[in-house]
Every structure is written in C-alpha cells, then in structure tokens.
Amino acid sequence: MQGWIKLYRSTQGNEFYFSERFTKAQAWIDLLLLANHKPATIFLRGVEVHLGKGDLAYSQISLAKRWKWNERTVNKFLTMLEKRQMIQSRKSNITTVISIINYTLYQSSTEQSTVQNTEQSTSRIQTDKNDKNEENVFVEQLISYLKENNIHFDEGNLRGRITKALNTYEENIIRYAVNDAVESWKKNGNEGNFVAYLFTILEHNYQEAEP
C-alpha cells in the first residue's frame, strides 16, 4: 500500500497510547514520533549533545520504561533495527543517540495537488486549529507527567510559559528539559518554584541548532 498519513506527535497524549505494553510496531512508530524534525543541541548532565534531523536522545532505560519492556528486550529490538538498516545508534555513558535512516521519507509527500484559493484558506484554518489542539494536548501531557512524579507547581504559570516556549523550542527539546528538571529536582530534594527551575534549565542547557 502506497501513500502516507500525517500523524501528529500529540498522538502520544492519547489515553490509549501508553495504556499497554508496546508491540514492536508501536515502538517503531514511537521512535519516529520522538525524532527531531530539525537539528538541535541539548545538554544532558552538562554534556553537549548534537542532534540532527531524525535523531533522538533516549537511553535504553528510558525507552524500557516508556514501552513497558525490560532493557534486554529494548537492546535486542534496537539491534534488530540496526541490522535491518532502519536506524543507527551511538551510545555513551550519558545517553543513546538514535538516528532514523531515511527519516525524510517518513516526513515528505511525493504527491502534489493543485487546489483553489478558497480551498487553501479553508485548509489553513483547519491546520491552525489542528496545530492549536496539538499544542494543548502536549501541554496537558507535560502537566500529567509532572503530577505523576509528585511535582508541585503553578499550573497556570506553566501553561502560559510552555505555550510561549513552543514558539522557540521543539516539543522534543522541551520534553528533554522537563525530564532533566524532574530528575534533578527529585534527586536534590529541591523546594521552591519548579516552573522557574525548569525554565532556567531549558534556557541555559538547551538550544536549537543554528540553521
């Protein structure tokens, strides 16, 4: 079967997405959704990590928790994908950077169509609505994650600042920063303004790559 569909990253916020142990197909789709759609630079534990288009930085431990697998199963799955030339991976003591091979093929349409101006306007309005809905789902997903980790924060403040940050950062970059902030916040037993702490980490340790 040929052709493609647009699968929003906010699909990960659906109530069914993490409800059960992942299959191999679900894990593969998850990797595609987690991959950056443009280059970025992040800092993990103070170490600079460069990510290209189609790259994601997730340790096997993180993927195991995400997919409800054990680490051995994750390792076998990633090894299988490498043998099938679907991914390349490079490990360090900080994380594993996974590169989706031929990532552009999953993002580009090979079909072109001509539409009337009125149709284009309608499409633009619908796209704007979809983008807004996707943004709202992403914010709700982050809020749920923080609550699950017993992080106390000003929900209204977080909503506003995350929404604004989405104009500058990719969702994946914000997600990395949130994971980093939660991990260090819980480890250090910090108290105070978590939202301010999160954005200090985001603004100082994470940045988009230069074009």
Q: Is residue 133 very low, low, confident or very high in pLDDT (cuts 50, 70, 90)?
A: low
pLDDT at 207 over 80: no
pLDDT tens-place string over residues 156-186? 999 999 999 998 888 888 988 898 888 888 8
Q: Judging by beta carbons within 10 Å of its beta carbon (0-12, 13-18, 19+), is residue 144 exposed, middle or buried? A: exposed
- What pLDDT is attached to residue 21? 95
Domains by residue range for the chain, with CATH = 15-106 (1.10.10.10), 119-208 (no CATH)
Model-level pTM?
Answer: 0.61
Distances (CA, A) of 148 to 145, 171, 181: 5, 19, 14
